Amino acid sequence: MNAPLRAGWTFTPKVPFRPATGLSGPHAQTLFAYLTHSWRSPKLHRERWETHDDDFIDADFVLAPPDVPHLAIFHGLEGSSSSGYILAMLRAAADRGWGAMALNFRSCSGEMNRQLRSYSSGETHDPAFALEKIRKRGITGPLYGIGFSLGANVLLKLLAEQGDDSPLSAAVAVSTPYDLASCARALDADSRWGAFYRSFYLRPLRRKALRKAAQFPGALDILRIRRSSTFRDFDDLVTAPVNGFRDADDYWSRCSSGPMLEKIRRRTLLISAKDDPIARVDGVLDGLQNPHITALVTEQGGHVGFVSGSILRPRFWSEEVTMQFLEEQQAAATPA
Protein backbone atom coordinates (compact mmCIF):
# COMPACT_ATOMS: atom_id res chain seq x y z
CA MET A 1 0.00 0.00 0.00
CA ASN A 2 1.71 3.15 -1.21
CA ALA A 3 -1.23 5.55 -1.44
CA PRO A 4 -2.02 7.69 1.60
CA LEU A 5 -3.83 5.77 4.33
CA ARG A 6 -5.86 8.90 4.95
CA ALA A 7 -5.33 12.55 4.16
CA GLY A 8 -6.63 16.02 4.86
CA TRP A 9 -4.44 17.10 1.95
CA THR A 10 -2.88 15.33 -0.99
CA PHE A 11 0.60 13.88 -1.14
CA THR A 12 1.64 11.11 -3.48
CA PRO A 13 5.18 9.74 -3.75
CA LYS A 14 6.63 10.08 -7.23
CA VAL A 15 7.63 6.42 -7.12
CA PRO A 16 5.76 3.72 -5.14
CA PHE A 17 7.86 1.60 -2.84
CA ARG A 18 9.08 -1.69 -4.23
CA PRO A 19 11.70 -3.58 -2.23
CA ALA A 20 14.97 -4.32 -3.96
CA THR A 21 15.17 -7.83 -5.39
CA GLY A 22 16.34 -10.20 -2.70
CA LEU A 23 15.41 -7.78 0.09
CA SER A 24 11.70 -8.40 0.45
CA GLY A 25 11.81 -9.58 4.07
CA PRO A 26 11.61 -7.19 7.03
CA HIS A 27 14.94 -8.22 8.54
CA ALA A 28 16.73 -8.04 5.19
CA GLN A 29 15.35 -4.53 4.70
CA THR A 30 16.27 -3.42 8.22
CA LEU A 31 19.79 -4.83 8.31
CA PHE A 32 20.76 -4.03 4.72
CA ALA A 33 19.83 -0.39 5.22
CA TYR A 34 21.80 -0.23 8.47
CA LEU A 35 24.90 -1.79 6.92
CA THR A 36 24.96 -0.08 3.54
CA HIS A 37 24.06 3.55 4.15
CA SER A 38 26.86 5.81 3.05
CA TRP A 39 28.93 7.18 5.92
CA ARG A 40 30.02 10.17 3.82
CA SER A 41 29.43 13.34 5.78
CA PRO A 42 28.96 16.87 4.49
CA LYS A 43 30.94 19.62 6.16
CA LEU A 44 29.54 19.96 9.66
CA HIS A 45 29.84 22.54 12.40
CA ARG A 46 29.38 21.25 15.97
CA GLU A 47 27.93 23.31 18.77
CA ARG A 48 27.64 22.40 22.43
CA TRP A 49 24.75 23.91 24.34
CA GLU A 50 24.65 24.10 28.11
CA THR A 51 21.25 23.12 29.51
CA HIS A 52 19.23 24.46 32.43
CA ASP A 53 20.18 21.48 34.61
CA ASP A 54 23.98 21.80 34.30
CA ASP A 55 24.26 19.35 31.45
CA PHE A 56 24.93 19.71 27.73
CA ILE A 57 23.73 18.57 24.33
CA ASP A 58 25.76 18.54 21.11
CA ALA A 59 24.31 19.47 17.74
CA ASP A 60 25.90 19.18 14.30
CA PHE A 61 25.02 21.76 11.67
CA VAL A 62 25.05 22.10 7.92
CA LEU A 63 25.44 25.86 7.73
CA ALA A 64 23.36 27.84 5.24
CA PRO A 65 21.88 31.33 4.81
CA PRO A 66 19.19 32.10 7.43
CA ASP A 67 16.36 32.56 4.93
CA VAL A 68 16.53 29.11 3.32
CA PRO A 69 14.77 25.99 4.67
CA HIS A 70 16.43 24.21 7.60
CA LEU A 71 16.00 20.65 8.83
CA ALA A 72 15.90 19.57 12.49
CA ILE A 73 16.75 15.86 12.55
CA PHE A 74 16.31 13.42 15.45
CA HIS A 75 17.99 10.00 15.52
CA GLY A 76 16.86 6.64 16.82
CA LEU A 77 17.75 4.53 19.85
CA GLU A 78 21.52 4.61 20.42
CA GLY A 79 22.00 6.46 17.15
CA SER A 80 23.71 9.81 16.65
CA SER A 81 24.43 12.47 14.05
CA SER A 82 26.85 9.98 12.46
CA SER A 83 24.19 7.32 11.84
CA GLY A 84 23.85 6.50 8.16
CA TYR A 85 20.24 7.62 7.82
CA ILE A 86 21.03 10.92 9.58
CA LEU A 87 24.02 11.58 7.33
CA ALA A 88 21.78 10.94 4.33
CA MET A 89 19.44 13.73 5.46
CA LEU A 90 22.37 16.06 6.15
CA ARG A 91 23.73 15.42 2.65
CA ALA A 92 20.27 15.98 1.17
CA ALA A 93 20.09 19.38 2.87
CA ALA A 94 23.60 20.34 1.78
CA ASP A 95 22.92 19.28 -1.82
CA ARG A 96 19.94 21.64 -1.93
CA GLY A 97 21.67 24.56 -0.28
CA TRP A 98 19.49 24.10 2.81
CA GLY A 99 20.63 24.23 6.39
CA ALA A 100 20.28 21.36 8.87
CA MET A 101 20.77 20.46 12.50
CA ALA A 102 21.26 16.88 13.67
CA LEU A 103 20.66 16.78 17.41
CA ASN A 104 22.63 14.24 19.42
CA PHE A 105 20.53 13.17 22.38
CA ARG A 106 22.34 13.24 25.71
CA SER A 107 25.11 10.58 25.89
CA CYS A 108 24.97 9.97 22.11
CA SER A 109 27.52 12.48 20.78
CA GLY A 110 30.59 10.47 21.77
CA GLU A 111 30.85 11.90 25.27
CA MET A 112 28.81 10.88 28.30
CA ASN A 113 26.56 13.60 29.62
CA ARG A 114 26.88 14.92 33.19
CA GLN A 115 23.51 14.15 34.75
CA LEU A 116 22.01 10.81 35.75
CA ARG A 117 19.33 10.92 33.08
CA SER A 118 20.25 10.95 29.42
CA TYR A 119 17.38 10.55 26.91
CA SER A 120 14.26 8.49 26.38
CA SER A 121 11.45 7.90 23.89
CA GLY A 122 9.40 10.62 25.55
CA GLU A 123 11.98 13.24 26.53
CA THR A 124 11.03 16.40 24.61
CA HIS A 125 12.63 19.18 26.65
CA ASP A 126 16.00 18.93 24.88
CA PRO A 127 14.49 18.84 21.36
CA ALA A 128 12.30 21.84 22.23
CA PHE A 129 15.37 23.62 23.59
CA ALA A 130 17.24 22.81 20.36
CA LEU A 131 14.47 24.24 18.17
CA GLU A 132 14.49 27.40 20.27
CA LYS A 133 18.26 27.69 19.85
CA ILE A 134 17.92 27.37 16.08
CA ARG A 135 15.46 30.23 15.90
CA LYS A 136 17.67 32.34 18.16
CA ARG A 137 20.47 31.88 15.61
CA GLY A 138 18.43 34.14 13.35
CA ILE A 139 17.01 31.41 11.10
CA THR A 140 14.03 32.92 9.30
CA GLY A 141 13.38 30.25 6.67
CA PRO A 142 10.96 27.38 7.25
CA LEU A 143 12.04 24.78 9.80
CA TYR A 144 11.18 21.16 9.04
CA GLY A 145 11.39 18.30 11.55
CA ILE A 146 12.50 14.78 10.63
CA GLY A 147 12.57 11.88 13.09
CA PHE A 148 13.55 8.25 12.78
CA SER A 149 12.34 5.47 15.10
CA LEU A 150 12.74 6.72 18.71
CA GLY A 151 13.45 10.18 17.31
CA ALA A 152 10.20 10.00 15.34
CA ASN A 153 8.26 9.25 18.52
CA VAL A 154 9.98 12.19 20.24
CA LEU A 155 9.21 14.47 17.28
CA LEU A 156 5.50 13.55 17.18
CA LYS A 157 5.14 13.86 20.94
CA LEU A 158 6.76 17.30 20.80
CA LEU A 159 4.48 18.40 17.95
CA ALA A 160 1.46 17.27 19.97
CA GLU A 161 2.63 19.05 23.11
CA GLN A 162 3.36 22.32 21.29
CA GLY A 163 0.25 22.31 19.10
CA ASP A 164 -0.26 25.67 17.42
CA ASP A 165 2.91 27.02 19.06
CA SER A 166 5.31 24.65 17.31
CA PRO A 167 8.21 26.42 15.55
CA LEU A 168 8.16 23.69 12.90
CA SER A 169 6.46 24.32 9.56
CA ALA A 170 6.08 20.62 8.70
CA ALA A 171 7.44 17.26 9.78
CA VAL A 172 8.17 13.69 8.69
CA ALA A 173 8.26 10.69 11.04
CA VAL A 174 9.79 7.43 9.79
CA SER A 175 9.26 4.01 11.43
CA THR A 176 7.68 5.48 14.55
CA PRO A 177 7.11 3.23 17.60
CA TYR A 178 3.64 4.69 18.17
CA ASP A 179 2.96 2.18 20.96
CA LEU A 180 6.05 1.74 23.16
CA ALA A 181 4.59 -1.24 25.01
CA SER A 182 4.03 -3.05 21.73
CA CYS A 183 7.55 -2.14 20.65
CA ALA A 184 8.99 -3.55 23.88
CA ARG A 185 7.00 -6.76 23.42
CA ALA A 186 8.40 -7.14 19.90
CA LEU A 187 11.95 -6.65 21.16
CA ASP A 188 11.40 -8.99 24.12
CA ALA A 189 9.85 -11.72 21.98
CA ASP A 190 11.10 -15.23 22.58
CA SER A 191 12.43 -15.70 19.06
CA ARG A 192 15.74 -15.65 17.23
CA TRP A 193 15.12 -12.22 15.77
CA GLY A 194 13.73 -10.85 19.01
CA ALA A 195 16.92 -11.98 20.75
CA PHE A 196 19.04 -10.41 18.00
CA TYR A 197 17.44 -6.96 18.17
CA ARG A 198 17.24 -7.10 21.96
CA SER A 199 20.94 -7.82 22.26
CA PHE A 200 21.84 -5.19 19.66
CA TYR A 201 20.13 -2.41 21.62
CA LEU A 202 20.44 -3.58 25.22
CA ARG A 203 24.19 -4.10 25.27
CA PRO A 204 25.10 -0.43 24.75
CA LEU A 205 22.24 0.68 27.00
CA ARG A 206 23.48 -1.52 29.83
CA ARG A 207 27.05 -0.25 29.37
CA LYS A 208 25.86 3.33 29.67
CA ALA A 209 23.70 2.52 32.68
CA LEU A 210 26.65 0.90 34.45
CA ARG A 211 28.78 3.98 33.76
CA LYS A 212 26.01 6.10 35.24
CA ALA A 213 25.86 3.83 38.28
CA ALA A 214 29.58 4.39 38.83
CA GLN A 215 29.13 8.13 38.29
CA PHE A 216 26.22 8.31 40.77
CA PRO A 217 26.84 5.71 43.51
CA GLY A 218 23.66 4.29 44.97
CA ALA A 219 21.36 5.70 42.30
CA LEU A 220 21.05 2.46 40.31
CA ASP A 221 21.19 -1.24 41.13
CA ILE A 222 24.37 -2.43 39.38
CA LEU A 223 23.76 -6.14 39.91
CA ARG A 224 20.21 -6.04 38.55
CA ILE A 225 21.30 -3.95 35.54
CA ARG A 226 23.93 -6.53 34.70
CA ARG A 227 21.30 -9.26 34.90
CA SER A 228 18.64 -7.39 32.91
CA SER A 229 17.83 -9.31 29.75
CA THR A 230 14.66 -7.65 28.45
CA PHE A 231 13.50 -4.15 27.69
CA ARG A 232 10.88 -4.47 30.42
CA ASP A 233 13.68 -5.21 32.90
CA PHE A 234 15.80 -2.31 31.69
CA ASP A 235 13.00 0.23 31.52
CA ASP A 236 11.78 -0.80 34.98
CA LEU A 237 15.29 -0.52 36.45
CA VAL A 238 16.68 2.49 34.60
CA THR A 239 14.60 4.39 32.06
CA ALA A 240 11.43 4.80 34.12
CA PRO A 241 12.87 5.81 37.53
CA VAL A 242 15.59 8.03 36.09
CA ASN A 243 13.00 9.95 34.07
CA GLY A 244 10.38 10.22 36.81
CA PHE A 245 8.01 7.40 35.87
CA ARG A 246 6.59 4.79 38.23
CA ASP A 247 7.66 1.78 36.15
CA ALA A 248 8.01 0.59 32.57
CA ASP A 249 4.25 0.45 31.98
CA ASP A 250 3.83 4.02 33.21
CA TYR A 251 6.70 5.18 30.98
CA TRP A 252 5.39 3.40 27.89
CA SER A 253 1.84 4.62 28.43
CA ARG A 254 2.71 8.28 28.98
CA CYS A 255 5.35 8.56 26.27
CA SER A 256 3.77 6.73 23.32
CA SER A 257 3.03 9.17 20.50
CA GLY A 258 0.11 7.20 19.03
CA PRO A 259 -2.56 8.50 21.43
CA MET A 260 -1.30 12.07 20.92
CA LEU A 261 -1.52 12.28 17.12
CA GLU A 262 -4.86 14.13 17.10
CA LYS A 263 -3.20 17.08 18.88
CA ILE A 264 -0.67 17.77 16.10
CA ARG A 265 -1.23 21.07 14.29
CA ARG A 266 1.52 21.00 11.66
CA ARG A 267 1.39 19.22 8.33
CA THR A 268 2.99 15.87 9.12
CA LEU A 269 3.85 12.85 6.99
CA LEU A 270 4.01 9.44 8.68
CA ILE A 271 6.00 6.69 6.93
CA SER A 272 5.74 3.15 8.27
CA ALA A 273 5.87 -0.45 7.05
CA LYS A 274 3.36 -3.11 8.00
CA ASP A 275 6.17 -5.65 8.35
CA ASP A 276 8.28 -3.49 10.69
CA PRO A 277 9.77 -6.04 13.11
CA ILE A 278 10.21 -3.47 15.90
CA ALA A 279 7.66 -0.66 15.59
CA ARG A 280 4.31 -2.32 14.98
CA VAL A 281 1.75 -0.21 13.16
CA ASP A 282 -1.26 -2.56 13.13
CA GLY A 283 -4.36 -0.71 14.30
CA VAL A 284 -2.46 2.31 15.60
CA LEU A 285 -3.60 4.67 12.86
CA ASP A 286 -7.13 3.30 12.51
CA GLY A 287 -9.69 6.04 12.93
CA LEU A 288 -7.16 8.87 12.80
CA GLN A 289 -9.09 12.06 12.01
CA ASN A 290 -6.39 14.74 12.20
CA PRO A 291 -6.51 16.69 8.90
CA HIS A 292 -2.91 17.80 9.40
CA ILE A 293 -1.59 14.23 9.09
CA THR A 294 -1.17 11.87 6.17
CA ALA A 295 0.17 8.36 6.67
CA LEU A 296 2.00 6.25 4.09
CA VAL A 297 1.94 2.63 5.20
CA THR A 298 3.72 0.21 2.91
CA GLU A 299 3.31 -3.55 2.96
CA GLN A 300 7.08 -4.04 3.22
CA GLY A 301 10.08 -1.98 4.27
CA GLY A 302 11.21 -3.20 7.68
CA HIS A 303 12.43 -0.76 10.30
CA VAL A 304 14.12 2.37 8.89
CA GLY A 305 14.73 0.23 5.82
CA PHE A 306 12.68 0.97 2.69
CA VAL A 307 15.49 -0.17 0.39
CA SER A 308 14.48 -0.09 -3.27
CA GLY A 309 16.49 -0.17 -6.48
CA SER A 310 18.89 -3.10 -6.39
CA ILE A 311 21.39 -4.61 -3.99
CA LEU A 312 24.24 -3.21 -6.07
CA ARG A 313 22.58 0.18 -6.46
CA PRO A 314 20.28 0.62 -3.48
CA ARG A 315 17.94 3.56 -3.13
CA PHE A 316 16.45 4.57 0.18
CA TRP A 317 12.83 5.29 -0.60
CA SER A 318 11.72 6.84 2.70
CA GLU A 319 14.51 9.40 2.53
CA GLU A 320 13.67 10.31 -1.07
CA VAL A 321 9.98 10.63 -0.18
CA THR A 322 10.86 12.76 2.85
CA MET A 323 12.70 15.28 0.71
CA GLN A 324 10.00 15.23 -1.98
CA PHE A 325 7.40 16.04 0.66
CA LEU A 326 9.46 18.87 2.17
CA GLU A 327 10.27 20.34 -1.23
CA GLU A 328 6.55 20.39 -2.00
CA GLN A 329 5.89 22.14 1.30
CA GLN A 330 8.52 24.73 0.45
CA ALA A 331 7.14 25.25 -3.07
CA ALA A 332 3.61 25.70 -1.73
CA ALA A 333 4.79 28.30 0.79
CA THR A 334 6.84 30.30 -1.74
CA PRO A 335 5.00 33.27 -3.31
CA ALA A 336 4.53 32.94 -7.07
- Active-site residues: which are they? 149, 276, 303
Which run of H or of E encompasses 273?
strand 267-273
Helix axis angle for 192-215 and 180-187, nearest 10°, is: 110
Residue 189, classed as helix, strand or coil, is coil
For residue 202, count other CB atoms closer than 10 A to its CB: 20
Q: Of 49, 41, 47, whose CA–CA distance to 60 is shortest?
A: 47
Q: Of 294, 265, 298, whose CA–CA distance to 281 is shortest?
A: 298
For 227, residues 6+ apart whose C-beta sits below 8 A from its C-beta are 233
Distances (CA, A) of 48 to 59, 168, 305: 6, 22, 31
